[in-house]
Amino acid sequence: MDKNAKPIVVIGAGLCGSLLAARLAKRGQKVLLFERRTDIRLTGEEGGRSINLALSIRGLNSLNLVGADQEALKMAIPMQARMIHFKDGSTRWSPYSGREGDYINSISRGGLNALLLDKAEQNKNLEIRFNTPCLSVDIEANTATFRDNRNGKTFVQEASVIIGTDGAGSAVRRSYLARSSSSLFNYSQHFLEHGYKELHIYPNDDGSHKIKKNCLHIWPRGNYMVIALPNLDGSFTVTCFFPYKGANGFEELTEPSQLFSFFKEEFPDAFQLMPNLISDFYNNPTGSLGTIKCYPWTTNGNSLLMGDAAHAIVPFYGQGMNCSFEDVLVFDQMIDEYGLDWATVFSAYQNERKKDTDAIADLAIDNFYEMRDHVANEHFIRKRNLEMKLEKQFDDYYSKYSLVTFRPDLSYHEAMVKGRAQDEYLMKICKQTKEIENIDLIELNRDIKQKIWR
Ligand SMILES: Cc1cc2nc3c(=O)[nH]c(=O)nc-3n(C[C@H](O)[C@H](O)[C@H](O)COP(=O)(O)OP(=O)(O)OC[C@H]3O[C@@H](n4cnc5c(N)ncnc54)[C@H](O)[C@@H]3O)c2cc1C
């Protein structure tokens, strides 16, 4: 490797950036990875609390690019089902799939990020600079300006190419936007009227989980939803998705007594598990939930946007990170196909990937309504039971959720198109009949194959 060669500059050492940098370095490229924050391996997660994510097969396949998939699984808790909690305290176990081997994994965001930083640093041709936020990118000159937070000095870094993996608030994307209108950069940002806040269920004194461990707990209440994912230390990270405005919205729940009675009334079993509710609720920030779409991700072949910087989505399919990891896999396949001709690779990558990131963005919005309202709806429950029966009986039947989550051989776009068509077909049947036991499953599966998959 030419020591004087300009490095590939990757901006943002989060989940996508650290995987991408590790992979490019493993391929022999000289990589400089910049990160705004302090090294998470030294500081731990913000506030000392675990924040977790659902990792599934698309993400795992991509982690395999740097040999991190099995190590990630060792840090994760398998979740086979949603456990739905009703207002009267009763619960319903709702498996993600009729196949036993299909499950998702709850994993610590910080732990996974640390693992990928370790993988990246194993390469001598890669250097990570923490505490160094990118301020802007000069796309024409192919340089990026950074501030070294340790001494406050700004400096300009030259690059062979620049890849922005700096998340939903991307500084690299801002530089795309700041260019003249002749660059034809399209950008849209759509916020939900709901925000989110993280709470915590702490472990029992012996370190065990207070509620069932191997599932994603969900308290769907129409306009309000609470979920909880297990952590290895026996705790759960709880996330409330509430509207900002209106009765019991984030902006209205200003009085602890009001918060108390709202939780006691709507989420009685969760309320009992969170003696720390008030401090968590009032100390933790409220995050916004939005979809960001933009295009093109490369403008002149010098730079590229990837991960949330290119396509931030709402978290309701548990696919944002998986999709960002899969970006790296698809990008890597483009390098296999086109070599190191970056302009060609960038352009082929965005042509291939855009429809899929749009698809998962739209599916994630659909799932917001499904999780919030439908999981407790009679027709939906019947449809879900029918899908389970089909999945148990036929190797070739996959529900929409399974197509998206457990079939990495299908693109998100294909999973969306086929999955939506199947949903529509089954919903029609479930609205017409209550007796799903009497349905001829062989005939139904054959019809679905002929009408939707032919
Ligand atoms: C509440 C919630 C729950 C979620 N749950 C799931 C889930 O269950 N499953 C799932 O797959 N996805 C989930 N996601 C989505 C997932 O978090 C994101 O899709 C994923 O983190 C994207 O990775 P990224 O590397 O592109 O961005 P990020 O993880 O945001 O990383 C960006 C990195 O860039 C750094 N950075 C930012 N600006 C600069 C700058 N100017 N200069 C240098 N560095 C910078 C940041 O510090 C950060 O390290 C969830 C998201 C939310 C909000």
What type of residue is 5?
A
pLDDT at 68 over 90: yes
Q: At a CB cut-off of 8 Å and minimum separation 6, what does 111 contact?
A: 75
Nearest to 220 by CA among 72, 56, 376: 376
Among the atoms of ligand 1, which is closest to the Cα of residue 306? 26
Give the residue-averaged pLDDT of 254-266.
Answer: 96
Cα torsion at 404, 67, 112, 209 (round to 10°)? 80
State which H helix or E strand residue 228 sits in: strand 224-230
pLDDT at 434 over 90: no
What integer pLDDT is reported at residue 188 of this predicted model? Answer: 97
Structure tokens at 207: 């370190």
What integer pLDDT is reported at residue 369 of this predicted model? Answer: 82
The answer to whether the beta carbons of residues 388 and 437 sit under 8 Å apart is no
SS3 146: strand
Report helix angle 342-372 to 412-432, nearest 10.
Answer: 20
Other CB atoms within 10 Å distance of the CB of residue 375: 17
Instruction: Please give the distance, rounded to the nearest whole angstrom, from the Cα atom of residue 13 to the centre of ligand 1.
Output: 10
For the Cβ of 408 lying below 6 angstroms from any atom of ligand 1, the answer is no
Q: Whose CA is closest to atom 37 on ligand 1?
A: 166
**Structure-token match 């000095």, residue found:** 153
How far CA 50 is from CA of 31, 150, 212, in Å, comes to 30, 27, 18
pLDDT at 48 over 60: no
Sheet holding 215-221, edge to edge: 91-95, 81-85, 215-221, 224-230, 236-243, 186-201, 287-295
Average per-residue pLDDT for the chain: 95
Instruction: Please give the distance, rounded to the nearest whole angstrom, from the Cα atom of residue 346 to the centre of ligand 1.
Output: 22
What integer pLDDT is reported at residue 51 of this predicted model? Answer: 87
How far CA 424 is from CA of 394, 432, 445, 448, in Å, comes to 19, 13, 14, 11
Q: Whose CA is closest to atom 51 on ligand 1?
A: 315
Instruction: Please give the distance, rounded to the nearest whole angstrom, from the Cα atom of residue 258 to the centre of ligand 1.
Output: 32
- Dihedral angle sign, alpha carbons of residues 153, 176, 294, 30: negative
Other CB atoms within 10 Å distance of the CB of residue 292: 20
Percent of the chain clearing pLDDT 90 (strictly above): 88
What integer pLDDT is reported at residue 1 of this predicted model? Answer: 58
Quote the pTM value. Answer: 0.96
Instruction: Please give the distance, rounded to the nearest whole angstrom, from the Cα atom of residue 365 to the centre of ligand 1.
Output: 18
For the Cβ of 292 lying below 6 angstroms from any atom of ligand 1, the answer is no
pLDDT at 266 over 90: yes
Q: Whose CA is closest to atom 27 on ligand 1?
A: 167
Instruction: Please give the distance, rounded to the nearest whole angstrom, from the Cα atom of residue 320 to the centre of ligand 1.
Output: 8
Q: Whose CA is closest to atom 30 on ligand 1?
A: 167
For the Cβ of 327 lying below 6 angstroms from any atom of ligand 1, the answer is no
Give the residue-averaged pLDDT of 5-32.
Answer: 98
Instruction: Please give the distance, rounded to the nearest whole angstrom, from the Cα atom of residue 111 to the centre of ligand 1.
Output: 14
| Beta pairing class for 77-79 and 104-108 | antiparallel
pLDDT at 210 over 80: yes
Burial class (CB in 10 A: 0-12, 13-18, 19+), 370: buried
Beta strands in 49-130 (DSSP E): 52-55, 77-79, 81-85, 91-95, 104-108, 126-129
Instruction: Give the model confidence (pLDDT) of 414-428 as tens digits.
Output: 999 999 999 999 999
pLDDT at 3 over 70: no
The answer to whether the beta carbons of residues 117 and 18 sit under 8 Å apart is yes
| Beta pairing class for 287-295 and 186-201 | antiparallel
For the Cβ of 167 lying below 6 angstroms from any atom of ligand 1, the answer is yes
Q: Which of 36, 41, 50, 147 to mutate to test the pocket of ligand 1 (most atoms within 8 A of CB)?
A: 36
pLDDT at 50 over 80: no
Nearest to 175 by CA among 133, 128, 140: 140
For the Cβ of 174 lying below 6 angstroms from any atom of ligand 1, the answer is no
The answer to whether the beta carbons of residues 422 and 448 sit under 8 Å apart is yes
| Beta pairing class for 287-295 and 153-158 | unpaired
What integer pLDDT is reported at residue 373 of this predicted model? Answer: 67
The answer to whether the beta carbons of residues 394 and 97 sit under 8 Å apart is no
For the Cβ of 77 lying below 6 angstroms from any atom of ligand 1, the answer is no
Whether the upstream peptide bond of residue 296 has omega within 30° of 0, thus cis, is yes
Q: How confident is the model at residue 46 (pLDDT cuts 50, 70, 90)?
A: low
What integer pLDDT is reported at residue 49 of this predicted model? Answer: 61
Nearest to 383 by CA among 351, 345, 431: 431
For the Cβ of 325 lying below 6 angstroms from any atom of ligand 1, the answer is no
Q: How confident is the model at residue 300 (pLDDT cuts 50, 70, 90)?
A: confident
For the Cβ of 166 lying below 6 angstroms from any atom of ligand 1, the answer is yes
The answer to whether the beta carbons of residues 399 and 426 sit under 8 Å apart is no
Instruction: Please give the distance, rounded to the nearest whole angstrom, from the Cα atom of residue 65 to the centre of ligand 1.
Output: 20
pLDDT at 2 over 80: no
What integer pLDDT is reported at residue 100 of this predicted model? Answer: 87
Instruction: Please give the distance, rounded to the nearest whole angstrom, from the Cα atom of residue 168 to the centre of ligand 1.
Output: 7
Report helix angle 441-452 to 412-432, nearest 10.
Answer: 140
